[in-house]
Structure 1
């Protein structure tokens, strides 16, 4: 057995699998489609195909977020490592491909363990296997779960001096303000009194620049959004016609967020979990938010969750920021 195969087996054997069941997905979809306006939860974007498409999005020329954050992370890591300190257990929500994780684990001193919490089982196992090859001295404790729900994290064999929550990629912006506050409260509880959280935030900027990032010319983001319907069809037996919906993303400046919709191309009905849901022509179903923050807005959110910003790093253009939070 080669090293890669051995790492993959270790990742699978260490996996804590709390992946959402089809009944959970169906219940969430029914709840969203019963609202006015209709919604679907963005957390279900990330099946294997959704994870692949998102990685493709990050390589589109219009999508400034990933490249800007990676460059900022690389430039700021010495300062970040000093602020965090040694002997930590890193816990990452929504780990994805793990590219940013590699940079962080390389830079921190004496990482005790790494726990990735990721809803896509395939992406989780593959990234954990790769990281275990790169960092054999770090205990890998992957958890396949919806991190928006309460969960117990696995304990490391060696005690850590502090827990570090790592939440890059501006994923916090995908939640409403109330949801984001609840998630930060949960992070505060998980990290404990001496822990910290390193969070990526996309900063407010020119409307056209923001909108272009979510409407790439190659149409990859549109494929990604429509894949949500394909997943529901496959996993819970709905009958969405993918050709009957189109992707739409607009920046609502008054609310400080990108709002992404799937718009019905015609009057149509969808069967899901024994229910019928009617769509009017041009009816927009909300599938994702992506908030863009000011320092004042983000600090107010952190304060509401019982946290305070102790350190901050921005790229030279002030497009993207990293913030280190600790319990207030």
Structure 2
């Protein structure tokens, strides 16, 4: 059963254009990583997940295949026994379905949340065919902003699900703020919980190729953000005038992705001129690699406590169960 795709609530007054202008006006130019995920960006990211260098998805899928039933068993139950699975950043349903279909699972509703309407519409078509009895309520939203779950799932307590290590894209202060908001969205007073995937800390020799693959797919993904900016901000970026760079920042425990200007150049954007010197970079993404203890500490600052932890056989990826 499909509800209409829910549109986002109004944000707190900061538009995407404001974010772009603010980031490109900073000493270290930046762009919001959410702009990676237009239709082309989603397709490129799906290709990245299949690359030999990109271990993250394989490790996470191995973890879910081994522990999906155990994870799903932790979902809170309503008086009727049902629960809602709320998946953050659901560009497709392949990971969520592993929990929905796990042995003993009693999920009665599924709320995929993503910023890309096209991806959610495609999920809705597939899920209506494969899970016709499931209440399906997609939400188009920037989940870094406050949001409210659809009324159609209000009767069921929720298990939040944030796979894929996307939370690694957030600075530590953003992690805490996001987790605080999730407590409100998931209504922890209804005994809701949150399952979150994190890429674990490991040697840079394993990390850097995952973000700078030999086929250049990650480079294309990085440059594509400029195509998206061109559309939403009436800009004239030339993506081929920028080189992809992936850097390990040991001090902060993160991979950084940058776009490096190959020449001195100017870009017009929303009626303004943005100047680049040769070699200057736009910092497009961070990917923090958490230790188990470090992430539990961040979660505690947001009012969550750790109840369980799972990892893959090679201990590349971790999944936390948090209780409010």
TM-score (norm 2): 0.93
Tell me the residue number matched to 1:164. 159
Alignment of 1:98-177 (within 5 A): 98-107=93-102, 109-156=105-152, 159-160=155-156, 162-177=157-172
The yes-or-no answer on 1:38 pairing with 2:38 is no
Question: 1:74, CA displacement in angstroms?
Answer: 0.9
Tell me, in whole angstroms, the C-alpha distance in 2 between the residues paired with 1:102 and 1:84: 14
Tell me, in whole angstroms, the C-alpha distance in 2 between the residues paired with 1:81 and 1:150: 26
Tell me the residue number matched to 1:277. 274
Q: Which consecutive residues of structure 1, in runs of 5 or more, have no partner in the other structure?
A: 1-9
Question: 1:158, CA displacement in angstroms?
Answer: 7.0
The yes-or-no answer on 1:75 pairing with 2:66 is yes
Structure 1 residues 157 and 296: CA distance shift in structure 2, 3 A: closer
Tell me, in whole angstroms, the C-alpha distance in 1 between the residues paired with 2:221 and 2:7: 25
Deviations 1:226-268 (A, max 9, x none): 1110111123210111111111111112111111101111111
Tell me the residue number matched to 1:268. 265
TM-score (norm 1): 0.92
Q: Is the 8 A contact 1:264 1:283 kept in 2?
A: yes
Tell me, in whole angstroms, the C-alpha distance in 2 between the residues paired with 1:304 and 1:16: 30
Tell me, in whole angstroms, the C-alpha distance in 2 between the residues paired with 1:319 and 1:61: 15
Q: Is the 8 A contact 2:76 2:193 kept in 1?
A: no
Q: Secondary structure at the match of 1:131?
A: helix
Q: How many residues in Structure 1 have an aligned counterpart in Structure 2?
A: 315
Deviations 1:19-68 (A, max 9, x none): 999x9322211011111101000001111110000000000000000011
Tell me the residue number matched to 1:94. 89
Question: 1:275, CA displacement in angstroms?
Answer: 1.2
Tell me the residue number matched to 2:4. 14
Q: Which consecutive residues of structure 2, in runs of 5 or more, have no partner in the other structure?
A: none
- The structure richer in helix per residue is 1
Tell me, in whole angstroms, the C-alpha distance in 2 between the residues paired with 1:82 and 1:97: 22
Deviations 1:55-112 (A, max 9, x none): 0000000000001101100101121122225411111110012110111111162212
Candidates 58, 61, 68, aligned match of 2:52: 61
Tell me, in whole angstroms, the C-alpha distance in 1 between the residues paired with 2:298 and 2:205: 26
Candidates 284, 289, 296, aligned match of 2:286: 289
